[in-house]
Amino acid sequence: MHRVSLPEVGTFEAWRDAARKALAADIPAEDIVWQRGSGGADLFGEETVLPPAPEGARFSVPKSFLQTVRLALWHRDPERFARAYAMLRALQAQPRLFEDRGDARVAKLNALAKEVGRDKHKMTAFVRFRDIGDPAAERRRFAAWFEPSHFIMEPTAPFFAKRFGDMDWTIVTPDLTAQFEAGKLSFAPGQAKPPLPEDATEELWGTYFRNIFNPARVKLKAMQAEMPKKYWKNMPEAAHIPEMIAGARARAAEMQAAAPSLPPMRAERITARFADARAEVPGEGKMAEALAGCRRCPLWENATQAVSGEGPLEARLMFVGEQPGDREDLEGRPFVGPAGQVFDRVLQEVGIARDEVYVTNAVKHFKFRPQGRRRLHQAPNNHEIDHCRWWLDLERERVRPALAVALGASALRGLTGDGTGLLKRRGRLEMAGDQAVFVTVHPSYLLRLRDPQQRADAEAAFRADLAEVARLMA
């Protein structure tokens, strides 16, 4: 019997190296006991030193297996390492085995990976930093406490390093502590929950959370599925949830009683703000028809058609992209091309219904460069974004969403007038006049990444952004 101990940091790489050596030595899966963390001798004896793999030894496995195992090994299942090694051995005899989702061993590894992926998503959405630094210091310093379901601190820490690279921070969990100082990420042993001071920004966050809460759309099961109660104790805004739920019925009744006075007031605001709208928009509700005749910038000359926004006018959530792509230009609808498919899939994963949101673009005509039979996308310039902002403002006035999401720098400029510093502003809430704006990247950014791991990490970050949007709107 062999016993292999894996470190608490670099666990996947250590397992991969040990598994290669064991496979080269043809050690059966049942003859290895795996453990994470240091440990002394037990009934299986001392630590086994596996012989190095022979020179030139190579083992072939599907890429999907490695991607799954990279997640599954962070699960708390005590058999996870043995399961992965047993599958590795089986794949040498049956190279396509991992394609069989009906195989119990394959299904179990996929289930472990899915649970870890969900736990990572929860961590990126529900970590709340407290300011613990000296206001006079050059770099801000923050700390947070989180209790994950699995050993996800190491694989999730790079997300926070990218998102909060302009500050020093510490995230403490019972299993592992991540520290980011002066741009360098390191790990230390896990700790008990430290005493963290209250942060002045928590009151502002709570105020915003109360203001966006819609008592007429309270869905407790959906909210708790996305934001389980176990996380509430470490989230400052969660303290307001019981009070808001308790008063939801009364507030909804007040909103209903006040509803008859809203349409005239809304129409009056639209008319006052766009006094020249009647000269360019022939009749109420005919924005698409008016947009087809837009000549505000030269982009209309080569585009097939203008692409207006799509979605219910009573939508509380608006997504703003850059411009129509090739498919959108031909079909006349926003977000139906490859980036739109990524967008739809991530929306579904975080629980946002596409048919309940309003989707549009900062620029309404497709800008491209012809190359043979293909039309290659070109980003709109500031002049084109600014000229098209008239239409975007009109859409915002017609829909009046509680929150607008800027997907990329062009959308950010169209909404706020400034599209610079997208990655530094990503994940933040900003105000454009009286409009709350959440900043993230455009889904086409994910498609441009060629490295599979970079794309997977970027999609996880994008999913976390939209999950935050879903939580804000719950």
Which tens digits make up the pLDDT trace of 125-161? Answer: 888 888 887 777 778 889 999 999 999 999 999 999 9
Confidence of residue 218 (pLDDT cuts 50, 70, 90): low
pLDDT of residue 125: 85
Query: Which of left, alpha, beta for 127 (phi over 0: left; psi -120 to 50: alpha)?
Result: beta
What is the Cα–Cα distance from 379 to 422, expressed in whole angstroms? 15
Look up tokens 């403490």; give the residue.
Answer: 172
pLDDT in tens, 307-334: 999 999 999 999 999 999 999 999 999 9
Q: Dihedral of CA 397/398/404/405: which sign?
A: negative
Whether the pLDDT of residue 228 is over 50: the answer is: yes
Residue 62, number of CB atoms within 10 A of its CB = 14
Question: Partners of 361 in the beta sheet?
Answer: 321
pLDDT of residue 220: 54
**176-181 and 184-189: which strand pairing?**
antiparallel
Confidence of residue 276 (pLDDT cuts 50, 70, 90): very low
Confidence of residue 196 (pLDDT cuts 50, 70, 90): confident
> Which whole number is the average pLDDT over 22-36?
91
pLDDT of residue 45: 53
Mean pLDDT score across all residues of the chain: 84
CA–chain centroid gap for 345, Å, is: 12
Q: Are 159 and 124 in contact (CB under 8 A)?
A: yes
SS3 321: strand
Structure token pair of residue 291 = 């947009």
What is the Cα–Cα distance from 84 to 463, expressed in whole angstroms? 27
What is the Cα–Cα distance from 171 to 160, expressed in whole angstroms? 9
pLDDT of residue 7: 93
pLDDT in tens, 391-426: 999 999 899 999 999 999 999 999 999 999 999 999
pLDDT in tens, 69-121: 999 999 999 999 999 999 999 999 899 999 998 899 999 999 999 999 999 99
Contacts of 459 (CB under 8 A, 6+ apart): 342, 346, 446
**168-172 and 141-145: which strand pairing?**
parallel
SS3 315: coil
Choose among 341, 360, 424, 435: nearest CA to 164.
424
SS3 153: helix
Look up tokens 């455009």; give the residue.
Answer: 442
55-61 own/partner pairs: CB under 8 Å, 24+ apart: 57/20, 57/24, 59/20, 59/23, 59/88, 59/92, 60/91, 60/92, 60/95, 61/88, 61/91, 61/98
91-98 own/partner pairs: CB under 8 Å, 24+ apart: 91/60, 91/61, 91/62, 91/65, 92/23, 92/59, 92/60, 95/60, 95/62, 96/62, 98/61, 98/62, 98/64, 98/65, 98/68
Look up tokens 């019925």; give the residue.
Answer: 249
Q: Are 335 and 394 in contact (CB under 8 A)?
A: no
